[in-house]
Amino acid sequence: LKLSNSSYVCELHFLQEDIQNSYFGLCNGVPSDVIALQTVNKHLRPVAVPVLWPGCPDYLSKKEKPKRKPPKERVLPSPEATIFDNEEVGSGDIDFSEITLDPFLVADPDLTS
């Protein structure tokens, strides 16, 4: 197989993101009033490489990866709830009077009162 300047590979062998379309607007007298767009030329990105080979074994073709959604925004904890600079938390910092224990989960029932 010898390649020349007139050799080509059809668009079926390239990923959709590698193909850039040029359009020509058909206008009705006013430049902003576009009735239809007509594809004039299709160009490949300079780094495009044919990776799809329909009709050949699957291992010869690169799979198109689906586009990922952007990550969800996470709510950061409030600064009051965060301990900074490895501060020690002492027993005096916690009010144990507000803590209630479930009697079924405690080995000594006297601790629940």
Please, which pLDDT band fits residue 25 given cuts at 50, 70 and 90? low
Instruction: Report d(CA 49, CA 15) in Å as an integer.
Output: 9
Tokens of 110: 């006297």
Residue 8's φ and ψ, nearest 5 degrees, are -150, 160
pLDDT tens readout for residues 28-50: 555 544 555 555 677 788 888 88
Residues 111 and 101 sit within 8 Å (Cβ to Cβ): yes
Residue 96 CA from chain centroid, whole number? 45
Reported as a single tens digit per residue, the pLDDT across 54-94 is 777 777 776 767 788 888 887 776 665 555 544 565 556 66
Whether residue 60 contacts residue 49, with contact meaning beta carbons closer than 8 Å, is answered with no
Where are the chain's structural domains?
1-63
pTM for this prediction? 0.37
For residue 5, pLDDT over 60 is answered with: yes
pLDDT at 101: 67
